Amino acid sequence: MINDVFVVDAAAHSYNLAEDNYAVGRYSQAVVDAFYGAHYNLSPVGYRLPREQFTRDWTVGETAKMLYVETDYDYACHHVLPINAFKAEY
């Protein structure tokens, strides 16, 4: 909460960006490069993760910690979106 106001992340996404999740014959590396580039260029210094730490399969616990412990979010809408550059996991 911020000043007693309930805070919602209306579009939370989590992806398995590990290399073993790349789909065969797709543009997986380009998609991962774009995701990592967005993370690196939009994150302030001190919050930028090294590429090897960012491009992996995050656990539910790690994702929950980032969303609810390390931010002011009280609620998040998790959206599952198929990206054909990766193996289907839904």
Collapsing DSSP states into helix, strand and coil, what is residue 2?
strand
2 located within any domain: no
31 located within any domain = yes
Range of the domain at 32: 8-78
pLDDT category at 69 given cuts 50, 70, 90 is very high
- Does residue 50 form part of some domain? yes
- On whether residue 3 sits in a domain, the answer given is no
69 found inside a domain: yes
pLDDT band at 80 (very low <50, low <70, confident <90, very high): confident
Task: Please say whether the beta carbons of 35 and 76 come within 8 A.
Answer: no
Percent of the chain with pLDDT over 70: 98
Within 8 A by CB and 6+ apart from 84, the residues are 23, 26
Residues 6+ apart with CB under 8 A from 77: 8, 9, 10, 11, 12
Q: Answer whether residue 83 is part of any domain.
A: no
Tally of domains within the chain: 1
Q: Mind listing the pLDDT tens digit for each residue in 12-53?
A: 888 899 999 999 877 999 999 999 999 999 999 999 999 999
Mean pLDDT of the chain, nearest integer: 91
- Which of 11, 35, 41 lies closest to 22, judged by CA? 35
